[in-house]
Amino acid sequence: MTLNTIKKYKIGWDGNRNTIPIYDEKGVLRNIRRYNQKKPEKMI
């Protein structure tokens, strides 16, 4: 992942996983997804 991609999509890090903000059609933040490719996917 490039620095430009990280900045464009506002990807962060919470100490354990990448954080990916989810916005609605009006640009309002609605959710933050957490992802770590080294850990199994969780279904909540």
pLDDT of 41 reads 73
Q: Where are the domains of the chain?
A: 3-35
- Sign of the CA dihedral running 21, 24, 30, 36: negative
- Per-residue model confidence (pLDDT) at position 36: 87
Return the pLDDT at 32. Answer: 97
Could you tell me what percentage of the chain is helix, strand and coil, using 3-state DSSP and rounding each to the nearest 5? 15, 35, 50
Tens digit of each residue's pLDDT, the chain (44 residues): 899 999 999 999 999 999 999 999 999 999 999 998 887 777 76
For residue 30, give Cα distances in angstroms to 1, 3, 37: 24, 24, 23
Are 19 and 33 a contacting pair, CB within 8 Å?
yes
User: C-alpha angle 37/41/44, rounded to 5°?
Assistant: 145
